[in-house]
Amino acid sequence: MLVLNGIPSTYQEWRHCITVDCNIALTEPFVGERIAILSNAGCEETRRFEQLYGIEHRKAVLGWFRQAQQESTKKMLHS
């Protein structure tokens, strides 16, 4: 796994970083909250994120949270 400057560049790297390195569970409430915040360009937290990592990385991370949400939904449907 190649994480450039500690910043994940793929979904797999990001998921590992969140769930293993940071020990954060990608629960439905957490993922939903992050999607809401990162979708709101006017949110102070979103503006800080963009200042630190750039708009393209924000879009990528938002997509990864959406992917995690879809995977969680599929898993629940098949349980």
Q: What is the pLDDT of residues 21-63, one digit of tens each?
A: 999 999 999 999 999 999 999 999 999 999 999 999 999 999 9
Q: Is residue 35 a part of any domain in this protein? A: yes
Q: Does a structural domain hold residue 16? A: no
Q: Which domain holds residue 65?
A: 27-77
For 55-76, write each residue's pLDDT tens digit.
999 999 999 999 999 998 877 7
Q: Taking a C-beta distance cutoff of 8 angstroms, is the pair 62, 35 a contact?
A: yes
SS3 24: coil
**Residue 18: inside a domain:** no
Would residue 37 count as lying in a domain? Answer: yes
Domain count, the chain: 1
Residue 57 lies inside a defined structural domain of this protein: yes
By the 8 A CB rule, do 45 and 37 touch? yes
Let me know if residue 48 belongs to a domain: yes
Q: Could you report how far apart the first and last alpha carbons of the chain are, in Å?
A: 30
Question: Within a domain: residue 31?
Answer: yes
Specify which residues 7 forms β-bridges with: 4
